[in-house]
Amino acid sequence: MAQLARITTDAELPSAAALNDALREASPGEVIASALRAVGRDRLALVSSFGTESAALLKVMADVDPAIPVIFLDTGWLFEETLAYRDTLIAALGLRDVRSIQPSEETLKREDPDRELWFTDPDACCRIRKVEPLARALKSFDAWINGRKRFQGGQRAEIRVVEDDGARLKFNPFANVTPQDIAAIYASAKLPPHPLVASGFRSVGCMPCTSRAESNEDARAGRWRGKGKTECGIHTMKVS
């Protein structure tokens, strides 16, 4: 694998294409370590939903550096079980810098005063509760890490290990992993499952737009069921 020198904040970022070529066959831990070398801890963030598969990526990150900043989007519509799971994983993995980011109160009062936007316009709801808060949270970072996998299908089937995300780099260290790989990480590290997995939730987001999924369905079938929507927007728009 190509060795990637750490850059300073006023230097030009390495190209996503070059990084992707160097890391296309790398392990998740190697991808995160390379991201850390490329931009430095202060300019790198991991974005986590603390959902049903999140512990695996957080464990790999913690093995590289548990002080990498973790951004958690607290939308105001999350399950209490997800908030409790966040706290459980922070303690279990020794995460040192988890930042819970909330939507703008002014925006919520203006655009969703009755908390019904999820029903009338789910794209707008995701925009004000996820996309815009994440854009603000990432302003001070040159690169971010997320947990998308190709096996999740849909728009994720062709993701690269490293992408150009406008103003910053986007690392997908789990792009190549399989469900079996994730299960192995959970088993070897004895990671606790999300509390809602036992109730049939295979992918967990906001309460109004999350439902149980059958074992023969895609894992994300319970997200925005019946709305013709598969992504919240943070992975379909370049974050400026």
Q: Is 39 exposed, middle or buried (0-12, 13-18, 19+ CB in 10 A)?
A: buried
Strand partners, 169: 143, 164
Residue 237 one-letter amino acid? M
Residue 183, Ramachandran bin (φ over 0: left; ψ between -120 and 50: alpha; else beta): alpha
Read out DSSP for 153-196? -GGGTT--SEEEETTEEEE-TTTT--HHHHHHHHHHHTPPPPTT
- Residues labelled catalytic: 232
Residue 200, Ramachandran bin (φ over 0: left; ψ between -120 and 50: alpha; else beta): left
- Give me 30's structure tokens: 């190697």
